[in-house]
Amino acid sequence: MSAASAYRRIAVIDIGKTNAKVVVLDAETGGEITVVKTSNGVLKSEPYPHYDIDRLWDFIIGALKGFAAAPGFDAISITTHGASAVLLDADGGLALPVLDYEYAYPQAIQEAYGQLRPAFAETFSPRLSGGLNVGAQIHYQKSVFPEEFARVTAILTYPQYWAFRLSGVASNEVTSLGCHTDLWNPTTQSYSSLVDALSIRGLMAPIRSAFDALGPILPALAADMGLTKPVPVYCGIHDSNASLLPHLVENEAPFAVVSTGTWVISFGVGGDLGHLDPVRDTLANVDALGRTVPSARFMGGREFEILAAEIGTASSDAVEAAIEAVIEKGLMLLPNVVEGSGPFPGRRRRWIADHAASNAERLAAVCLYLALMTEACLGLIGAKGPIFVEGPFALNHAYLKALSALTNSDVIALAGSTGTSQGAALLTGIRPATTTENSPVRAELAGLTRYRQAWCDALIA
């Protein structure tokens, strides 16, 4: 019996940087049956900012226990944000807390790591801030906490840690290893030289396919949940690659996917790695099948959150209606709202011609800013073909219209919540969700070419 017919409902653990959720999906349609959510905060206590693993675990187990009673589930898949590694001790506990990747290390530690990390040509992983390079995290933990690090018996990527907690099977997986960790060489599909430079090769858990069922839920957990039959736990996948997976199944290259959440990550499917610029936050991701995908990113969701809180509210209709007036006035926002990543590093945000602007006009300028940043990312990865937008920005019509006009491309908004949960469910062998695609947006905006040039000129100035 194929997995598609064996499973009726898939439970997906989906841990983002800002929020976490557990979803039950219908295996036939891919639709959400039920979902529970919680915030994913960072503990600021010693020894460094870290994720509240105990709280997340209690949330996950509570959700699965509730869902086991109704509506039930036949398999578990997992997806999480990247840039996190878990250091286990001999008992399977945490040798050190799971470090928040936004934490910035002392300058001396950063400089020492800079001497160790491989060249971009080896890893296609740019030097990023804080612990966005997982290799930098491990180097920091090993350098500053040598006694605790000496207790490490296994290093796991983040989705696979939760799979380990549920199944007892330790593993690593290439989508998490391949997302700017510095630990992976995508051209040889093997660990990079950094693994030996850090002397951690023997600690890295075995690599398994994202599609592998690692084993059933541990008996004690299954009994606690009230499960009456074995439920397999799948290896799991990095969240952006989970979002990408349905597109790989359903569409022919070339095309682009813009996955929006805390990060806006653009994938140029069918592109090449030859013109990536490590200084501008481009990189190679590795998809669930082990293939390299040129990618670029900026923290667009976080930026929108910050700006919306500062500006205040306006209806989406008012924001969309204000776009042409904003273009005419030359009201614009320059990068960066969140510093340390994105296609225009080293710049600080600046408003131009914003005197007496209304909330709607400011928010329209923010949408234009986000579209310009996305266009820059797509250009850096040589993206071609239609552009699929998913996540919160798929509901932002002003952004979609501006992106279509800037790129002269069809922009297809994917309805529903972020595609991470649906993509993770595909690991179990079910068929892709019957996604509702909105009609392609193909827009022209008067004066946008002039506005875009003025924005670029202001960046240079």
Q: How far is it, in rounded angstroms, from Cα 273 to Cα 293?
A: 8
**Biggest alpha carbon distance in the chain?**
66
| Shared-domain flag, residues 193 and 224 | yes
**Listed range (10-14, 211-215, 435-439) with the worst mean pLDDT:** 435-439
**Listed range (74-78, 213-217, 270-274, 365-369) with the worst mean pLDDT:** 270-274
| Shared-domain flag, residues 433 and 306 | yes
Tell me the percentage of the chain whose pLDDT exceeds 90. Answer: 86
Q: In the numeric block, which tokens belong to residue 140?
A: 């920091």
| Shared-domain flag, residues 195 and 308 | no
Q: Of the residues 176, 209, 235, which one is the last residue of a structural domain?
A: 235
| Shared-domain flag, residues 319 and 434 | yes
Mean pLDDT, rounded, for 292-316: 96
Q: Of the residues 235, 255, 289, which one is the last residue of a structural domain?
A: 235
Please report the pLDDT score of residue 198 as a whole number. Answer: 98
Q: Residue 158 contacts by C-beta under 8 Å, 6 or more apart in sequence?
A: 15, 80, 81, 82, 84, 85, 86, 98, 176
Please report the pLDDT score of residue 449 as a whole number. Answer: 97
Mean pLDDT, rounded, for 112-130: 95
Q: What is the pLDDT of residues 349-378, one digit of tens each?
A: 999 999 999 999 999 999 999 999 999 999
Res. 437 pLDDT band, cuts 50 70 90: low
Please check the confidence at residue 114 and state whether its pLDDT lies above 90.
yes
Please report the pLDDT score of residue 8 as a whole number. Answer: 96
| Shared-domain flag, residues 247 and 225 | no
The tally of CA atoms less than 13 A away on the side-chain side of residue 292 is: 22
Please report the pLDDT score of residue 6 as a whole number. Answer: 83
The answer to whether 411 and 403 have CB atoms below 8 angstroms apart is yes
Res. 434 pLDDT band, cuts 50 70 90: low
| Shared-domain flag, residues 181 and 257 | no
**Listed range (105-119, 207-221, 266-280, 423-437) with the worst mean pLDDT:** 423-437
Please check the confidence at residue 278 and state whether its pLDDT lies above 60.
yes
| Shared-domain flag, residues 374 and 323 | yes
Q: How far is it, in rounded angstroms, from Cα 159 to Cα 55?
A: 16
| Shared-domain flag, residues 291 and 271 | yes
| Shared-domain flag, residues 167 and 40 | yes
Q: What's the Cα-to-Cα distance from 383 to each of 203, 271, 273, 407, 448, rounded to whole Å? A: 37, 6, 11, 10, 21
The answer to whether 42 and 51 have CB atoms below 8 angstroms apart is yes
Please check the confidence at residue 2 and state whether its pLDDT lies above 50.
no
Q: What is the pLDDT of residues 150-163, one digit of tens each?
A: 999 999 999 999 99
Res. 432 pLDDT band, cuts 50 70 90: confident
Please check the confidence at residue 42 and state whether its pLDDT lies above 80.
yes
Please check the confidence at residue 18 and state whether its pLDDT lies above 50.
yes
Res. 418 pLDDT band, cuts 50 70 90: low
Please report the pLDDT score of residue 133 as a whole number. Answer: 97
Please check the confidence at residue 171 and state whether its pLDDT lies above 90.
yes
Please report the pLDDT score of residue 250 as a whole number. Answer: 86
Please report the pLDDT score of residue 4 as a whole number. Answer: 44
| Shared-domain flag, residues 350 and 404 | yes
| Shared-domain flag, residues 269 and 192 | no
Q: Name which residue leads in pLDDT, 169 or 247.
A: 169
Res. 415 pLDDT band, cuts 50 70 90: low
Q: In the numeric block, which tokens belong to residue 335?
A: 């990068």
The answer to whether 394 and 414 have CB atoms below 8 angstroms apart is yes
Please check the confidence at residue 417 and state whether its pLDDT lies above 90.
no
Res. 3 pLDDT band, cuts 50 70 90: very low
Please check the confidence at residue 94 and state whether its pLDDT lies above 50.
yes
Q: How far is it, in rounded angstroms, from Cα 78 to Cα 86?
A: 15
Q: Name which residue leads in pLDDT, 416 or 295.
A: 295
Q: How far is it, in rounded angstroms, from Cα 157 to Cα 161?
A: 6
Q: Is the peptide bond preceding residue 386 cis, with omega within 30 degrees of 0?
A: no
Domain count, the chain: 2
- Whose tokens are 């099977």? That residue is 169
Tell me which residue range forms the domain holding 422. 240-460
Q: Of the residues 235, 264, 290, which one is the last residue of a structural domain?
A: 235
Tell me the percentage of the chain whose pLDDT exceeds 70. Answer: 97
Res. 1 pLDDT band, cuts 50 70 90: very low
Please state the pTM of the whole predicted model: 0.84
Phi, psi of 81 (to 5 degrees): -65, 160
Q: Residue 122 is part of a domain; what is its CATH number?
A: 3.30.420.40
Please check the confidence at residue 433 and state whether its pLDDT lies above 70.
no
Nearest to 184 by CA among 118, 129, 232: 118
| Shared-domain flag, residues 220 and 249 | no
Q: Name which residue leads in pLDDT, 140 or 29.
A: 140
